[in-house]
Amino acid sequence: MKRHIPNLITLLNVFCGCVAVVFAVLNQLEWAALFVFLGIFFDFFDGLAARLLGVQSELGLQLDSLADVITSGLVPGIVMFQLLGMSVTGGWNADSFVHHSSPGVTLLSRPLPLLGFLITLASAYRLAKFNLDENQVSSFVGLPTPANALLILSLPLVLLFQNNDVLNQIILNPWFLIGVTFLSAYLLNSKIELFALKFKNWSFKDNALRYIFIVISFVLLITLKFLAIPFIILFYIASSLIAKLSLKGTLNE
């Protein structure tokens, strides 16, 4: 029975992803973000449960990636589609966002929003590569899809809950969104080695980088709210690169 527990948790991730897709299509992006967050929560705990119970399996690995394609691949693609649609039509303001108005994009005449699905394609490609790579255990090569999903989902949350005119203009600038889309696709499949938030023990010496990252991320979230998420992703990448360079320098001494 216990061997099914991690897979059941993974299926909860699938369910959250499906609900998030519905909300994203309806342009209710704050609800889509909520269910993506819940899906990522289950995504973290299915692997933890499998390790604690000693029931890791190839089926679980494949199911986990299929769940991530939905929650952390398809949903951020739809969200970027909606944001690009708003940027094309100028269809966003605080009232219209709260009432979930449609961006009203005609795909044949204004196909730019479809570019958002480049994130979905890049996510699916990354997950397929991940399943074939047996070396990504204590670290990742390229930005993990859940982290990328958080980056994309943070944009509508900043629009809705921080409601800063300068930030709104930046986020709804089509060139900014195009840049974020291509950056996202690149980071997902880059050769950048990033540390994983997997604790083999609770020792500070063995997990100093992870503890520091968690504390700084917590401080950023308190001070910057949803705007903190892009900075946390940048800090995650920068700290991984610094740690790798530091380790390389130590080995060369």
- Superfamily of segment(s) 2-137+144-192: CDP-alcohol phosphotransferase transmembrane (TM) domain (1.20.120.1760)
Please write the tens of the pLDDT for every residue from 206-246: 778 889 999 999 999 999 999 999 999 999 999 999 887 77
Please write the tens of the pLDDT for every residue from 134-186: 666 667 899 999 999 999 999 999 999 998 899 999 999 999 999 999 999 99
The pTM of this model reads 0.87
Please write the tens of the pLDDT for every residue from 45-62: 877 777 777 777 778 788
123: CB partners within 8 A, 6+ apart: 68, 69, 72, 73, 74, 76, 77, 145, 148, 188
Residue 198: burial class (beta carbons within 10 Å; 0-12, 13-18, 19+): middle
What is the model's pLDDT at position 31? 97
32 pLDDT more than 50: yes
Distance CA 241, CA 238 (A): 5
Report the amino acid identity of residue 224.
Answer: L
The DSSP H or E segment spanning 226 is none
What is the model's pLDDT at position 103? 46
Cα torsion for 62, 232, 191, 68, to the nearest 10°?
A: 20
Backbone angles phi, psi at 33, to 5 degrees: -60, -40
Which of 40-44, 113-117, 191-195, 247-251 is least confident?
A: 247-251
What is the model's pLDDT at position 95? 44
Residue 74: burial class (beta carbons within 10 Å; 0-12, 13-18, 19+): buried
Please write the tens of the pLDDT for every residue from 55-89: 777 787 889 889 999 999 999 999 999 999 999 88
Report the amino acid identity of residue 193.
Answer: E
